Amino acid sequence: MTDREELESMCKRRGFIWQSAEIYGGEAGFYDYGHLGARLLDNWKREWKEFFLGLDENYQVIHTPSIHPYRVLEASGHVDHFSDVMVRCERCGSSFRGDQLVEEETGENAEWMGKEEISEKILELDLSCPDCGGTFSEPEDFNMMFQLDIGPTGEKKGFLRPETAQSAYLNFRREFRALRKKMPMGLATIGSAFRNEISPRRGVYRMREFQQAELQIFFLPGIHDDIYEAKFEEIKDTKVRIKRAEAEEAKEIELQDIEDIPAFYLYHLGEMYRFASEVMDLDPKEIRFRELPSEERAFYNKIHFDLEVDFDTIGGWKEISGLHYRSDHDLKQHQEGSNTKLSVPTDNGRKIPHVIELSYGIDRNIWALLDKGYHPDDDRAWLDLPGRLTPRQVAVFPLVRKDGLPEKSREVYDVLDDDLLAHWEKSGSIGKRYARNDEVGTRYCVTIDYDTLEDDTVTIRDVESTEQIRVSIDEIDEIIEGLIEGEKSFQYHQKS
């Protein structure tokens, strides 16, 4: 089990993640990524794009601002409904999220509860302020959007977007034309979203400013079903762990045995599973899909599963992404709000496209990698990240700082640095260099020693097994790239 404090300390010390504006005492709900964290983030985004946009030539990325005009979020329903139930202590004035107070007392999910349910629960459980013991005011709705004035007059209002999804809906019409009216059509946005949380918690898990990668797929049920049925055919025997809404426990099942859910949904569910298990390399035992019961779902989400990870540091199973069949809700709302036709022609007249949404909380995904990858073992602390995601793929050092070894190691570094995330260092003992690199997830350490000067061979050490192989300098870039890409295993080279 990874301890949260231990992991957070490593993240701060080595350049991954820490609280924003730290020298000013920080601000709850805001985090910075240091030089290693930012690279891990970049790598994850690149892999996400490559994977999900690779599913279909007509899935594309767009880039959009964080600020939406008031009327956009009015039409989407966020102005009226995007709120949490807040209670204030009448004695000390502290504010709390009602559902969190209930959850802490009962251990049950209370996120679905409205003002009335929270109010009843507070009475029933006899809850009082955790800070001072005071009594609570009546629960009220607190809109979680950050509002701001656009322009100098104060007349125009806007919001920071609470999700990146709306940007895709706003652009459906223009992109439908630019992409020459092909459907299904996917629009992905990768960027910041903002929620003015009443009490941010669990580190990067619930922040006030966070990053999302969302893919909105526009399609017409009944018309594009065969496309997804054909795609699903190829992955239908994928085994996933699923907890259905009515079930007590998750169980492993082949996708094709889930009979009540359509192919367009199961296909994307399967691909999300592949991304988690193959690209992020998460242990299948530590991930599951959880179907949300109707009281937890937004009313427009006709089918909704979350992909959950069994976190060590933030209390067990928590969502890192979700798959939402939102029907034609979104485009309908914006057609009405904007008075612009968002339907498309079909053989049976114009229809408003439906949306299936793949929604990823990027920071949560990064935290899952760190939480599951960090191993503060007794003999060494090491970070197990996939070769394509780790911020440092290879480190190169001279055995000692003399006799031409530093110069030789520099030559090797220069070759590797062309195509890999490479690092070079010469200070400290070899043991300390291994320790420093193990801790940040360096997959391979290359050491230049006296034999190198004689026979042009070097050692490569594997972070996982800590074992070494000796290979020729000429082959080193090819061997390490092959290891990173998973073409050959370290064991393969050990034997040969």
- Considering only residues 397 through 426, tell me which ones interact with a copy of itself, judged by CB under 8 A: 424
Phi, psi of 142 (to 5 degrees): -115, 115
Stretch that binds a copy of itself, among 70-78, 107-115, 116-124, 284-292 (CB under 8 A): 70-78
Q: Which of residues 6, 9, 71, 486 is near a copy of itself by CB under 8 A?
A: 71
Nearer to a copy of itself, 9 or 294 (CB): 9
Neighbours of 453 (CB within 10 A): 12
CA separation for the pair 489, 16 (Å, rounded): 28
Total interface residues for a copy of itself by CB under 8 A: 78
Residue showing tokens 């000796």? 470
- What is the DSSP secondary-structure string of 365-389? HHHHHHHHHEEE-SS-EEE---TTT
Q: Which of residues 23, 299, 431, 454 is near a copy of itself by CB under 8 A?
A: 23
Closest CA to 144 of 90, 104, 199, 192: 199
Residue 87 beta carbon to a copy of itself: minimum distance, rounded to whole angstroms = 10
Decide: is 177 part of the binding site for a copy of itself (CB under 8 A): yes
Residue 481 beta carbon to a copy of itself: minimum distance, rounded to whole angstroms = 14
Q: Which of residues 2, 32, 134, 426 is near a copy of itself by CB under 8 A?
A: 32
Spatial contact of 307 and 272, defined as CB atoms under 8 Å apart: yes
Beta strands in 151-246 (DSSP E): 156-160, 185-194, 209-219, 239-243
Residue 469 beta carbon to a copy of itself: minimum distance, rounded to whole angstroms = 26
Nearer to a copy of itself, 57 or 487 (CB): 57
Task: Enter the DSSP assignment of 457.
Answer: E
CA separation for the pair 168, 355 (Å, rounded): 10
Instruction: Give residues 427-446 in contact with a copy of itself (rule: CB under 8 A).
Output: 427
The pattern of x and - marking residues 93 through 132 that bind a copy of itself according to CB under 8 A reads: x-x-------------------------------------
Strand order in the sheet with 67-69: 67-69, 156-160, 147-150
Nearer to a copy of itself, 157 or 244 (CB): 157
Q: Which of residues 1, 5, 24, 377 is near a copy of itself by CB under 8 A?
A: 24
CA separation for the pair 125, 199 (Å, rounded): 21
Neighbours of 435 (CB within 10 A): 14
Cross-strand pairs, 303: 325
Q: Which of residues 1, 107, 151, 496 is near a copy of itself by CB under 8 A?
A: 151
CA separation for the pair 270, 331 (Å, rounded): 26
Residue 35 beta carbon to a copy of itself: minimum distance, rounded to whole angstroms = 4
Q: Which of residues 195, 208, 324, 326 is near a copy of itself by CB under 8 A?
A: 208
Residue 462 beta carbon to a copy of itself: minimum distance, rounded to whole angstroms = 24
Task: Enter the DSSP assignment of 404.
Answer: T
CA separation for the pair 147, 69 (Å, rounded): 10
The pattern of x and - marking residues 43 through 62 that bind a copy of itself according to CB under 8 A reads: --------------x--xxx
- Cis bond upstream, residue 69 (ω within 30): no
Cross-strand pairs, 368: none
Q: Which of residues 99, 209, 306, 477 is near a copy of itself by CB under 8 A?
A: 209
Instruction: Give residues 301-320 in contact with a copy of itself (rule: CB under 8 A).
Output: none
Residue 15 beta carbon to a copy of itself: minimum distance, rounded to whole angstroms = 4
* Number of residues written out for the chain: 496
Decide: is 86 part of the binding site for a copy of itself (CB under 8 A): yes
- Per-residue CA distances from 333 to 75, 362, 468 (Å): 6, 27, 60
Tokens at 100, concatenated: 């969190």
Q: Fill in the amino acid letter for 222.
A: G
Nearer to a copy of itself, 15 or 134 (CB): 15
Instruction: Give residues 2-21 in contact with a copy of itself (rule: CB under 8 A).
Output: 12-15, 18, 20-21
Tokens at 240, concatenated: 């996933």
- Per-residue CA distances from 82 to 77, 131, 150, 335 (Å): 7, 27, 21, 20
Task: Enter the DSSP assignment of 85.
Answer: E
The pattern of x and - marking residues 330 through 369 that bind a copy of itself according to CB under 8 A reads: ----x--xx-x-x---------------------------
Nearer to a copy of itself, 207 or 483 (CB): 207
Residue 149 beta carbon to a copy of itself: minimum distance, rounded to whole angstroms = 7
Decide: is 69 part of the binding site for a copy of itself (CB under 8 A): yes
Stretch that binds a copy of itself, among 113-121, 155-163, 217-225, 265-273 (CB under 8 A): 155-163
Instruction: Give residues 230-249 in contact with a copy of itself (rule: CB under 8 A).
Output: none
Q: Fill in the amino acid letter for 457.
A: T
Residue 314 beta carbon to a copy of itself: minimum distance, rounded to whole angstroms = 20
Residue 74 beta carbon to a copy of itself: minimum distance, rounded to whole angstroms = 10
CA separation for the pair 287, 28 (Å, rounded): 28
Stretch that binds a copy of itself, among 102-110, 114-122, 172-180, 486-494 (CB under 8 A): 172-180
Q: Which of residues 6, 9, 35, 298 is near a copy of itself by CB under 8 A?
A: 35
Cross-strand pairs, 288: 308
Residue 90 beta carbon to a copy of itself: minimum distance, rounded to whole angstroms = 14
Nearer to a copy of itself, 149 or 295 (CB): 149
